[in-house]
Amino acid sequence: MLSSLAGVLFDGFAYGMLLFLLSVGLSVTLGMMNFVNLAHCSFAMVGAYATFSLVGRHGWPFLATLPMAFIAAAVISVILERTLYRRLYRASDLDQCLFTIGIVFISIAVYAWFYTTEQQSVQVPDWLKGAQHVGAMSFANYRIFLVVIGLAITAALVLLVERTRFGAQVRAAVDNQRMARGLGIDVDRAFMFTFALGGGLAGLGGALSIQMVGLDPTFALAYLVYVLIVVAVGGLGSIGGSFAAAVVLGISDMAGKYYFPWLGAFLIYLVMVALLMWRPQGLFGKR
């Protein structure tokens, strides 16, 4: 009983780490620029297919492709931000939604064209397969790996935002953009880097998720709902909020499936509704 509880908590936590990586970038850009970027998961898909191509077609080791997934998604997101997104910063929410959902469909079609609609997988090193068995409990190696990466990135992000000059600029821009501009902070530049960072993290999350959930061109749409839930529950612009929300949702999803399977994946939505009724601005949201 206790061992199954530990297993559920651990699996849910690992799943939460994946959700966190996928969604933290969106939370920050949404909080900073009020830009509704529904194409965020398309960046995740860019990273995922980068890893798939390098491992499957060029024989790179899996780990070495992870930074490339980050870079590929970051570069693509900056290009799109500079050429397309910035034109819509002052547009209405509806315009932004329509524009970015259009990008989602284009990205699905483009990847279906180049990579076909086939379900893809990657080969991970043997030490990431299988599981560690402690008594009656078993911890999958890949999930341990996810937890380690997730925690490391959270720590790095917190340090970056709390301790560096760049982080201070980003925080200032999120809190009060006009004041930040008035103080001479180059908000556009800060936003570009944040956007690249967010896109890159999504790309990394996408690459890491292939092993858990597979990869096909509908990826850009399939996980959008989960990412939006994490952002809404966590509160806009908050790294800690995204982290907490992702963990809560990951664990409640897993626990729901284990203890109340007839509720299926529905529990995650109940948790979302309950949390948002309690705190409409999200767990750590400021506005």
Taking CB under 8 A as the criterion, the residue among 222, 240, 269, 276 binding other proteins is 222
Q: What is the DSSP string of 145-184?
A: HHHHHHHHHHHHHHHHHHHSHHHHHHHHHHH-HHHHHHTT
Which element (helix H / strand E) includes 104? helix 93-115
Tell me if 216 contacts other proteins by CB under 8 A.
Answer: yes
CB 276 within 8 A of CB 232: yes
Which residues, 4 to 63, sit near other proteins by CB under 8 A? 4, 7-8, 11, 15
Tell me if 212 contacts other proteins by CB under 8 A.
Answer: yes
CB of 218 vs other proteins, minimal distance in Å: 6
Q: How many residues bind other proteins (CB under 8 A)?
A: 44
3-state secondary structure of 214: coil
Tell me if 140 contacts other proteins by CB under 8 A.
Answer: yes
Tell me if 115 contacts other proteins by CB under 8 A.
Answer: no
CB 88 within 8 A of CB 99: yes
Which residues, 224 to 283, sit near other proteins by CB under 8 A? 253-258, 261-262, 264-266
CA of residue 231 relative to chain centroid, distance: 9
Pairing outcome for strands 131-134 and 137-140: antiparallel
CB of 21 vs other proteins, minimal distance in Å: 14
Q: Which residues bind other proteins (CB under 8 A)?
A: 4, 7-8, 11, 15, 109, 112, 116-123, 129-131, 133, 138, 140, 142-143, 211-218, 222-223, 253-258, 261-262, 264-266
